[in-house]
Amino acid sequence: MTDRLIIFDTTLRDGEQSPGASMTRDEKLRIARQLERLRVDVIEAGFAASSNGDFECVKAIAAHIRDSTVCSLARANDRDIARAAEALQPAARARIHTFIATSDLHMEKKLRMTREQVLEQARLSVRFARKLCDDVEFSPEDGYRSDPDFLCRVLEAAIAEGATTLNIPDTVGYAIPELYGNFIRDLRERIPNSDKAVWSVHCHNDLGLAVANSLAGVKIGGARQVECTINGLGERAGNCSLEEVVMAVRTRRDYFGLEVGIETAQIVPASRMVAQTTGFVVQPNKAVVGANAFAHASGIHQDGVLKARDTYEIMRAEDVGWSTNRIVLGKLSGRNAFKQRLQELGIETDSEAEINAAFARFKDLADRKSEIFDEDIIALMGDESVTSEHEHYRLLALAQRSETGERPHATVAFAAGAVEHHAESDGNGPVDASLKAIESKVNSGAELLLYSVNAITSGSTESQGEVTVRLQHGGRVVNGVGADPDIVVASAKAYLAALNKLHSSGERVAAQG
């Protein structure tokens, strides 16, 4: 058994399945590049057969990523598998991840298939996938709640057909660490050809145990791959969090005795990028990446840390990338410095014209905000409600008036395709008035599920406000994020960004067998 733990990141597939976390192709590409800088071993880039959009995302990531293996999910059928292989065609290293449910509950109620049919389909799918790709992962969905005898037959057949990785999902987050670890150990002991594949853990966080279960799967079960997401992003309570599992194995190397190839200084930048892109903010007390994770408030702790850091700290903040919150550019910075910083941040631009437009926005921001941080640049580049010519809705101008004792009023100019709208409204506050003004022209009928404001960088009221708006319409939930030193403008941008996501059609098949 190897002493290296493979880190399989599924932020762009399982993470993105979280309602409202859907990302555009460019956003996914940017995150994939950050995952590559983080040196994750495998990037699950999407589920190619689920929609044309997902297919294009997987293909784009496969074409750009060189150092990590790029993977696509596929249900256990020939069409999905062929589509995954097609999207992965440009990859330097490709993996097809095929799955079918194996618990009695899922087989009877969801698939309406017998055990024998599922076994046969798993066998045929792995066989077909292996014809198209050397690296094939097989997952029995709801594996942890499956009958162990049946699961052994399915997994043994998958290995015999050439599966190189076997993943045991706790799809509904039902497992308990010791039991999950034992479950995997027993499967490995019972299946005669188990040593021919790498064993993997995939845990959901419904009971808050995803990281603990994954670690037990590694320590007790002998798994050598962990499937996880940045910030634990994922449906319901999320997936196993990459930063926690990696830092647990790193910090407690004495216990796990395993190597991970992760460039840990890229953890915080990755966390921020995912939070800024999806609008899923990180709770302050979240381990490793929360704003308070290394903040010592109590006098006793502060005193101890100043005398000897390891009195109260088990990891160094800079080792996970906490030093990035520094001034990088200012009002006097030139185009070259700006362009270089974009490159250092891994933000790729399509053309010189795009850089010029971004530089103009940067200058505008620097006029209003004396210190520009990396986070400001990331927000500036991701602000699609104003940046992208391809976006349907774009903010052009906003004016608002609020005064004690007066009802606030807003006037908003925005583009909808080629048409320019001028709208006005009053409201309970300037944000309410601005969004009502936009809605008076768009008439989206969308329900506002969430509105939140955060400071992009801490410690100053000069910080840009980052607003997340979550809308629901016709069964779809989308998030829009907008940033600006003026939170009313940020709110309008966020609202238009969410409307853009509703506007772009995106029929997609759910990741279910």
Binding site for Zn ion (CB under 5 A): 14
Contact 204, 171 (CB under 8 A): yes
Please give, one letter per residue, the 3-state secondary structure of 310-345: HHCCCCCHHHHCHHHCCEEECCCCCHHHHHHHHHHC
Place of tokens 């400001």: 376
Cβ neighbours for 475, distance < 8 A, ≥ 6 positions apart: none
- CB-nearer residue toward ligand KIV: 169 or 181: 169
Interaction of residue 511 with ligand KIV, rule CB under 6 A: yes
Residue 76 in contact with ligand KIV, rule: CB under 6 A: no
Residues in the chain: 513
- Picked from Zn ion, ligand KIV, none, the partner binding residue 141 (CB below 5 to 8 A depending on kind) is ligand KIV
Binding site partner of 229, from ligand KIV, Zn ion, none, Cβ cut-off 5-8 A by kind: none
The Cα–Cα gap between 358 and 360 comes to 5
- Euclidean distance between the first and the last CA atom of the chain, given in angstroms as a whole number: 31
Give the residue, chosen from 14, 16, 36, 156, that forms a contact with ligand KIV under the rule CB under 6 A.
Answer: 14
Q: How far is the CB of 215 from ligand KIV (least distance, A)?
A: 18
Nearer to ligand KIV among residue 14 and residue 391 (C-beta): 14
> Helix 177-190 and helix 210-219: axis angle, to 10°?
40
Q: Which is nearer to Zn ion, 69 or 171 (CB)?
A: 171
Q: Which is nearer to ligand KIV, 57 or 358 (CB)?
A: 57
The reply on whether position 44 binds ligand KIV by CB under 6 A is: no
According to the binding rule CB under 6 A, does residue 99 interact with ligand KIV? yes
Give helix 335-344 / helix 352-368 axis angle, nearest 10°: 100
Among residues 18, 164, 171, 266, which is the contact residue for ligand KIV, using CB under 6 A? Answer: 171
Compute the least distance from the CB of residue 36 to ligand KIV, in Å. 22
Q: How far is the CB of 67 from ligand KIV (least distance, A)?
A: 24
Q: How far apart are CA 445 and CA 492, in angstroms?
A: 16
Among residues 141, 243, 391, 484, which is the contact residue for ligand KIV, using CB under 6 A?
A: 141
Number of residues that bind ligand KIV (CB under 6 A): 9
Instruction: Assess 54 for contact with ligand KIV (CB under 6 A).
Output: no
| Residue 200 binds ligand KIV, judged by CB under 6 A | no
Question: Does 385 contact ligand KIV by CB under 6 A?
Answer: no
In whole angstroms, how close is the CB of 172 to ligand KIV at the nearest point?
Answer: 8
Give the span between the Cα atoms of 46 and 281, in whole angstroms.
Answer: 22
Calculate helix-pair angle for 335-344, 374-382, nearest 10 degrees: 90
Note whether 188 binds ligand KIV by CB under 6 A. Answer: no
In the bound state with ligand KIV, the residue whose beta carbon lies nearer, of 75 and 493, is: 75
What is the residue-wise DSSP string for 157-177? Answer: HHHHTT-SEEEEEETTS---H
Q: How far is the CB of 203 from Zn ion (least distance, A)?
A: 8
Chosen from ligand KIV, Zn ion, none, partner binding at 511 (C-beta under 5 to 8 Å by type): ligand KIV
Query: What does the longest C-alpha to C-alpha distance in the chain come to?
Result: 78
Q: 212 in helix, strand or coil?
A: helix
Tokens linked to 480: 């829009």
Encoded one letter per residue, x for contact with ligand KIV by CB under 6 A and - for no contact, window 203-242 reads -x--------------------------------------
Collapse the DSSP code of 425 into the 3-class scheme (helix H, G, I; strand E, B; otherwise coil) and give the result: strand
Please report, as ranges, the residues that interact with ligand KIV according to CB under 6 A.
14, 99, 139, 141, 169, 171, 202, 204, 511
